[in-house]
Amino acid sequence: MTLTAPSQLNAIVNQNVNFTVSATDILSRHVVLTVTGLPAGAGFVDNGNNTGTFNWTPTSNQAGTYLLTFQGDNLSGNTGVTFTQITVIVPPPPNDDFANATVVTSIPFSLTQDATNATVAPDDPFCSGRTQTVWYAFT
């Protein structure tokens, strides 16, 4: 028996990730598919035709790496297993790059954003005590 699924993939917070798991039995028998290690909010459905569908939209507090174990059983003594590693990535803020600076059109101005995943470019100015930068443009 052979099970097929992506071995690894990246998922972005708040964006859906889905894929198909398929099983092939040498005698073309039906294979029951199951999974362990599902993250909260994820789902897996055995479609009943030797395929299964994984579906998940990770939230911001689910950043990290997950290992899923997919099992197949033809109920005649043959089993198979395959693994998928999913790494959930939090994207940088939209104004992480100078070319995408947030425009400040009036004063006072207020904006709350998570800059945890902001990056540093070689041409960014030095910011004492900070390792990430975001950009604003005043008009």
15-38 pLDDT, tens digit per residue, is 999 999 999 999 999 999 999 999
The parent domain of residue 33 ranges over: 2-89
Say if residue 62's pLDDT is above 80: yes
Domain count, the chain: 2
**One domain, residues 81 and 17:** yes
What is the Cα–Cα distance from 105 to 89, expressed in whole angstroms? 31
**One domain, residues 49 and 66:** yes
Mean residue pLDDT across the chain: 88
Q: Enter the pTM of the model.
A: 0.73
**One domain, residues 80 and 98:** no
- Average pLDDT on 108-114 reads 76
What is the Cα–Cα distance from 44 to 38, expressed in whole angstroms? 8
What is the Cα–Cα distance from 99 to 131, expressed in whole angstroms? 19
What is the Cα–Cα distance from 121 to 80, expressed in whole angstroms? 46
Say if residue 91's pLDDT is above 90: no
> Looking at per-residue confidence, does 89 or 134 come out higher?
89
> Looking at per-residue confidence, does 130 or 110 come out higher?
110
**One domain, residues 31 and 77:** yes
Closest residue by Cα to residue 136 from 105, 104, 110: 104
What is the Cα–Cα distance from 22 to 31, expressed in whole angstroms? 9
- Average pLDDT on 119-138 reads 67
Q: What is the token pair recorded at 49? A: 């035709």
Say if residue 41's pLDDT is above 70: yes
**One domain, residues 136 and 82:** no
pLDDT of residue 39: 98
**For the chain, percent of residues with pLDDT exceeding 90:** 63
